[in-house]
Structure formats: structure tokens, C-alpha cells
Amino acid sequence: MLIENQQPPLILIVDDDIFVRGMLEKLIKKQGYRVTTAINGANALEEFQRCHPNLILMDAVMPVMDGFKACAELNKLSSVPIIMVTSLDDEQSVNKAFEAGAVEYITKPIHWAVLHHRLAVILETRSTQAALRKSEARFLGIFEQAAIGIALVNMDGQLIDSNPATQKMLGLDEVNLQGKLFNQFFHPIDLTKKFYQELLDGTRHYYQIEKYFFRKKNAPISWARLTISLVRKTNSTLPFFVYMIEDITQHKRDQTSLRIAVKVFETTTNSVIITNAEGNIIDINQAFLLTTGYSYEEVFNKNPRFLKSGRHDQAFYKTMWKTVLETGYWNGEIHNRYKNGEIYSAWMSLNMVQDEDNKTNHYVAIYSELKG
């Protein structure tokens, strides 16, 4: 089947008989193929170098250079399929043709239906093989260069192959990984039988599970997210599992840090205000509500200036924000006002929070009330 905008296959016809050459050209063009011709083996070599055909129909007996010699020379240059089309039907000639590299042998007079079928089959096979090689090269490129680990595991759980990212993650080279039971590197070792069976039954295409592992002996614990799928049996391959292995150690650590930060935010006795880059409140903790007497609804999306006591002039705030913008933080005593109007003194730590592009996205203020 031709891809849209792809040219039809080019057939090189090599025969010193002008009548046979013309007949073949006419019949092959009628089937939608492109055709170029040569009158002997030497001429065929020249024509091949000029136009690189997809298939060659080669007569055996020709002057200057016969088809057997030409076939052998062409096979040194390329793997292009060559069909010998000749009146020679003896066993010696047939063997000689295949030894020279021919893929098929058709005797004259030519049975057109047979030749048409052979052309179609050989060209389709060649196209399929080329697509397969391209697919294999693409997969190999992805497999070798992927940033995440990829491992191929047989039905007994033994490692068939692994990419460099997997080897780096586990701290082992290919030799020390090959043939090992892959699940032994990840804990807990047991494979969830329910998911395993669902892969085999086809009711699940893949499943994900998080497990911990050690990069080397006595190393700190690391975490991986495993995405496991099944490649089913084909005519040429046995079934096997594909493991996609993502190192989520830093993600796990960030989650732990976030849980701790949230716990501190919720339980600390210090008042905490978080604003967006524009300075409007997006979150406050329970201590702030208990200390100031405000409700969440009263302060959400408001600028904290409503806390001002009136005891600081504009120069104070200008200096404070200049310091924050230059250094990222400011510490100092500040006088604020409760909801009931009472003024109180607090030690404030104001910090600027930036993203990975150094763009400010939040401000965090922590107030510790000063008594007496």
C-alpha cells in the first residue's frame, strides 16, 4: 500500500533482448510501477548507481557482463532484491543465481501472473522490513536516551534488557542486572496478584505502583513509580512485561516537607499570612484568626494594610519593602491593630517567595506577639 504522495516503486529491467525488455516495461508500467531499463550487466550497474531502483529484473545470459556477475556485483553495493528472469532452467543455473544473491528465479517464457505476484510479494516484504527497521531504530533511540528507566522483564520475572537510566537509578551495570529477578530491587517485593492477573486477562492495560529501592548498599531510601504493561505473544516474540520506572524520590521528599509545613502552619501559635504577588491575602492560619479577632471571610483577598495601627509613617513601610525586594526578607518590630481597635506589638518576619524562574509569586509574614 502506497503512502499518500509517495512515488510507486521503481523497477530496473535488465535484458539485452529489446522485445522482452519492451514487453516487460509495458506490462509493469500497466501495474502502476515506474520503470527504468538496462541492456546488459555493466549497464545495469551504471543505472543502479544513477536511480537506485526498488527491485531489479535480471536476465542471465547477456553480452559484456552476464546476469550472474551483475547480480553478485550489485549485492556488494546494496540489498536491493533481484529476480532472475531467464530461459535457463537447469539446476546449475538456478543454484548459480541464488549463490549470486538473487531472491527469486523465473523462467522464460514469462508467466505474467506469476511475475506480478512475485513483484507484489517481494516489494511488500521489503517495505514491511524497512518499516520494521525504522520502528526498531526509533524504539532503540527512545530506549537508550529516555530520561526515565525502561526495563523488559520476561514472564518469570527475569530482566531481559534495561536502558542506561534504569542502570543509573539502581547503581548497577547491564552485566549485573541481566537475568536477575527484577522485582527484588523494589520493595515490597510481592507483585500484586490481582493487577498481574488483570494484565494477563486483558481487563487492564497497565497499572502503576509506588515502591522504594536502594541505589546501593547502605544508601538512603529512594522511591520509584513503576508503570507496568504487558506485550503479548506474537509469531516472533514471547510475551514480556515493560516497566517504566520514574524516580520520585524528590517528589516524596517534597510531599513530606509539605505535610510538615502544613502541620506547622496549622498548629503554630504565631500568626501567619500568605499573600499573592499583588499583596492580597490568599491564606491565613488559625492563630491569626484567634489573635486578631477577624474571620477568614473578612480578610480573604484583602491587602493586609487593614492591620495598620497608624504608628508607622510611610518611610517605615517604604524602607521595609525596599529591604524585602533587595534581600528577599525583612525582620523587625511592628505595631498592628486587632479587629476591636486595640493596638499590639509583634515581631514580624516577612519573606518573599519566588518560583524556579525567580519570579515572585507569594509573600509570607509571620507574627510573634510581643508581650509587656
The predicted pLDDT at position 4 comes to 46
Q: Please, are residues 208 and 153 in contact by the beta-carbon 8 Å criterion?
A: no
Handedness of CA 342, 345, 351, 352 (dihedral sign): positive
Give yes or no: residues 97 and 161 share one domain. no
Classify residue 258: in a domain, yes or no: no
Question: Which range has the top average pLDDT, 120-134, 217-231, 306-320?
Answer: 306-320
The confidence band for 362, taking pLDDT boundaries of 50, 70 and 90, is very high
Give yes or no: residues 15 and 111 share one domain. yes
Question: pLDDT at residue 189 above 90?
Answer: no
Q: Total structural domains in the chain?
A: 3
Classify residue 28: in a domain, yes or no: yes
pLDDT tens, residue by residue, 52-65: 999 999 999 999 99
Question: pLDDT at residue 2 above 50?
Answer: no
Helical axes 91-100 vs 67-77, angle rounded to 10°: 20
What are the phi and psi torsion angles at 283 (to 5°)? -165, 150
Give yes or no: residues 14 and 116 share one domain. yes
pLDDT tens, residue by residue, 248-281: 988 888 888 888 888 888 889 999 999 999 999 9
Amino acid at residue number 318: K
The CATH number of residue 337's host domain is: 3.30.450.20
**Residue where a domain terminates, one of 252, 280, 303:** 252
Classify residue 2: in a domain, yes or no: no
Q: Which domain holds residue 307?
A: 268-370
The confidence band for 125, taking pLDDT boundaries of 50, 70 and 90, is confident
The residues that bridge with 229 in the sheet, in sequence order, are 206, 242
Interior angle at CA 361, CA 356 and CA 367, nearest 5: 115
Q: Give strand ranges (E) for 42-115.
A: 55-58, 82-86, 104-107
Cα–Cα distance measured from residue 111 to residue 28, given in angstroms and rounded to the nearest whole number: 13
- Peptide bond just before 53 cis, omega within 30 deg: no
Classify residue 25: in a domain, yes or no: yes
The CATH number of residue 48's host domain is: 3.40.50.2300
Q: How many CB atoms lie within 10 A of CB 54?
A: 21
Q: Are β-strands 82-86 and 104-107 bridged in parallel, bridged antiparallel, or unpaired?
A: parallel
Q: Please, are residues 150 and 143 in contact by the beta-carbon 8 Å criterion?
A: yes
Verdict on whether the full-model pTM lies above 0.85: no
Give yes or no: residues 184 and 150 share one domain. yes
Classify residue 1: in a domain, yes or no: no
Query: Could you give the C-alpha distances from 264 to 156, 259, 270, 286, in angstroms and in order?
Result: 48, 9, 10, 11
Cα–Cα distance measured from residue 269 to residue 369, given in angstroms and rounded to the nearest whole number: 9
Q: Please, are residues 38 and 44 in contact by the beta-carbon 8 Å criterion?
A: yes
Q: Record the cell numbers describing residue 280, joined without a space.
A: 492580597
Classify residue 283: in a domain, yes or no: yes
